[in-house]
Amino acid sequence: MKAVVTVMLKAGVLDPQGKAIGQALAGLGFSGVGEVRAGKVIEIELTGTDPEAAKTQAEEMARKLLANTVIESFRVEVA
């Protein structure tokens, strides 16, 4: 079973990496691009078979290590 944790900066937190990506896209001629936010995706292979237990475990991992919950939010999906 795989858990996918997506971590993003919270709204209102400056995102210099996203800003640089947005400027680079504009420099490459891509028009119509608004605000760009950068984040990270972490895939974790889990050995359990219970999707709810896997989601709970991945959320605990995100709170304890994968995300800085002061400035970042996270989303967990289990497949």
| Averages of pLDDT over each 10 residues, the chain, 79 residues | 98 97 97 97 96 98 98 97
Query: At 8, which CATH number?
Result: 3.30.1280.10
8 A C-beta contact, residue 7 and residue 65: no
Domain that includes residue 7, residue range: 2-78
Counting the structural domains of the chain, the total is 1
Write down the pLDDT at residue 45.
98
- For residues 50 and 47, give the distance between their C-alpha atoms in angstroms, rounded to a whole number: 9
* pLDDT (0 to 100) of residue 75: 98
Instruction: Give pLDDT, residue 44.
Output: 98
